[in-house]
Amino acid sequence: MPRRTDIRLVFQQRLKQARALRELSQKQLGIQAGLDPFVASTRINRYELGVHEPDMATIERLAAALSVPTAYLFADDERLARMILAFDQLPASEKDRLLKAAESS
């Protein structure tokens, strides 16, 4: 049976990666996601370390602040994560074409 990846660890890693990619500090990300500026840095740090887990509404705000699809934050395969980011950047017509090609394979 394949080993299951702990989705919490995946989320922590992807959150940190996306934040670094956007060159945001923990405080900047927290503020952009609507957290109180006085606790923004601490909260993001605790999310990245797994001390606390954000609720789904907060996860959606974090994804929006990072300009990534929410699914990216939970992709446990590096190729899938890259595919999610690339797919998100495509125009709708290209998404439809690629989806049709993938489904017909």
* Predicted structure pTM score: 0.90
Within 10 Å of residue 48's Cβ, how many Cβ atoms?
A: 19
**Which of 1.10.260.40, 3.40.50.1100, 3.40.50.2020, 1.10.274.10 is the CATH number of 7-104?**
1.10.260.40
Sequence spans of domains, the chain: 7-104
67 close to 1: Cβ distance less than 8 angstroms = no
Encode the chain (105 residues) as per-residue pLDDT tens digits: 556 789 999 999 999 999 999 999 999 999 999 999 999 999 999 999 999 999 999 999 999 999 999 999 999 999 999 999 999 999 999 999 999 999 998
What's the pLDDT at 1? 52
Alpha helices for the chain (secondary structure H): 7-21, 26-32, 40-49, 56-66, 78-89, 92-104
